[in-house]
A and B are shown apart, each in its own frame.
Chain A
Amino acid sequence: MTREYLRRLPRNWWVRKATYFSFMVRELTSLAVAAYATFLLVLVAKAARQDSFGRFFEALRSPASIVLHLVVLALVLYHTITWIALTPKILVVRRGDEQVSPRLIAASNYLAWAAISGVVAWLVLR
């Protein structure tokens, strides 16, 4: 009787190649997404109490807050860029034998991202 040979995957499989490592970083950006979502919850909780919001607002102007935000921003940007880069794989528009250029699909999504960001910034900052 023969059995299938199952090779055990080494635990450090993802550090061995740059592409594997990038993949793992990409997946772990979900932690940054969750972290900022939690921050948003705290922000709204603080906004409900008029008296103490001033202190929270001041804390947002501290160097520690800026540094933390920038770290989270870098990770979330990596999430955004890799996510939109995958859109051509999901949105396959065929015309007969031909396909709409994947670059066009990705570019349209990046443009949509820029437009949405611009609208949100304008709405909040005006």
Chain B
Amino acid sequence: MTGDRRASDPFFWLLFAAGGVVSAMLMPVMIVLTGVAIPVGWLSEAGLLGAIRHPLSRLVLFVVVSLSLFHWAHRFRYALVDLGLGAVGRRAGLFYGLAGVGTVVAGWLFVRL
């Protein structure tokens, strides 16, 4: 990969790092909430809706979704290179573009709520 360094690399690395922190800190508890608390009965439908609709949650969810997608894009891209699938991994636009699309969709959804 040493041949194709670009000026945009640090920017995407920063998004990867931020996404790593945000997903590391917030995702486990969220997974337990949607995956365990709901079936067990600790979180009702009204409770969940109320939690999602709160303006602060909307902002937090947007940040978590967007940064997590950019975290995946960067990390998975380089993992593909390590797995010998560099031809796919080197297509930066494919991965960051997907994350960008997810971010736009998230933004639209969260504003619409």
- For chain A, the bracket of interface size reads 35 or more
The contact string, 1 if C-beta is below 8 Å from chain B, for chain A 80-120, is 10011000000000000000000000000000110011001
Q: Which residues of A contact B29 (CB under 8 A)?
A: 116-117, 120-121
- For chain B, the bracket of interface size reads 35 or more
How far, in angstroms, from A72 to B30 measured CA to CA in the complex? Answer: 11
How far, in angstroms, from A80 to B32 measured CA to CA in the complex? Answer: 14
How far, in angstroms, from A121 to B47 measured CA to CA in the complex? Answer: 12
From B23, B61, B109, A79 is in contact (CB under 8 Å) with B23
> Once the chains bind, are B68 and A36 in contact (CB under 8 Å)?
yes
Question: Which residues of B in the span 31-63 have a Cβ within 8 Å of any Cβ on A?
Answer: 31-39, 42-43, 45, 47-49, 51-53, 58, 61
Q: Which residues of B contact A41 (CB under 8 A)?
A: 65, 102, 105-106, 109
B interface, over-half SS: helix
Residue with the greatest number of chain B CB neighbours at <10 A, chosen from A33, A53, A69, A117: A33
> Once the chains bind, are A60 and B39 in contact (CB under 8 Å)?
yes
The contact string, 1 if C-beta is below 8 Å from chain B, for chain A 4-19, is 0000000100100000
B75 at the interface (CB under 8 A from A): yes
> Once the chains bind, are B24 and A54 in contact (CB under 8 Å)?
no
- Which A-chain residue is minimally distant from B20 (CB atoms)? A83
Q: Which residues of A contact B38 (CB under 8 A)?
A: 57, 60-61
**22 examples of A-B residue contacts, CB within 8 angstroms:** A24-B82, A27-B79, A30-B72, A30-B76, A34-B69, A34-B76, A36-B31, A40-B61, A44-B58, A44-B110, A60-B34, A60-B38, A69-B31, A72-B31, A73-B31, A73-B35, A77-B28, A79-B24, A80-B27, A112-B25, A121-B29, A121-B33
